[in-house]
Structure 1
């Protein structure tokens, strides 16, 4: 802070010489209040969870909680879902529909589905 008070500020056209001038140039958004004693900052980690789908045939459609998610081959390796219980179905015309209730936890749940042709 002492260096800031005696140097020329790059964002101003005049030298900063007093504490009041230095504080006026600081952005209020850059200042954060200190945490109370005994408290730590909470860091939220973004953990990707959901279903790791391996579906055959790949052109089957995937549905989660009654919502169409798309073709299995277009969904990639991880279908992101919130933790909890989900109703999953995989459908393809001319094949038996696969249905399951799946519990998604804090890690991706692997699901392997092979549809069988219906007679």
Structure 2
């Protein structure tokens, strides 16, 4: 940590602006240790929390036939298509998606998830 930042941290602790300020500190290292242990994040107001969750609602809207197929994203099993619901939440970016069902050909694709849910329709065909 740069020396100036350390001084600011100590000043904040001494001023009582942090939960750590109730403990006396002898050295900079003691203050940093207390800050790591007792730092308290203020509660997020309910109105703001709802807006943040709404903004993060992105992922895949899967329509899979047959519904008993298993869905995998980036090599991790996500569950049965019928149990995943309307939206499979995923972080924005490129994801490897596969849909498998015994007796059917496996469907695979590289899917780009943006800031809005990406609709995907998959119909598995029976293997000969």
Q: Which residue of 2 aligns with 1:116?
A: 125
Question: By how many angstroms is 1:70 displaced?
Answer: 0.2
Between Structure 1 and Structure 2, the one with more helix by share is 2
Whether 2:98 is the aligned partner of 1:98: answer no
CA-to-partner distance for each residue in 1:56-108, whole Å, 9 max, x for gaps? 00000000000000000000010000000000000000000000000000000
Q: Distance in 2 between matches of 1:55 and 1:108?
A: 16
CA-to-partner distance for each residue in 1:17-58, whole Å, 9 max, x for gaps? xxxxxxxxxxx99xxxxxxxxxxxx99722200000000000
How many residues are matched? 81
TM-score of the superposed pair, with normalisation by structure 2: 0.59
What root-mean-square deviation, in Å, do the aligned CA atoms of Structure 1 and Structure 2 show?
A: 2.3
Whether 2:69 is the aligned partner of 1:45: answer no
Runs of at least 4 residues of structure 1 off by over 3 A? none
In structure 1, the gaps of 5 or more residues are: 1-27, 30-41
Whether 2:86 is the aligned partner of 1:77: answer yes
| Greater C-alpha radius of gyration | 1
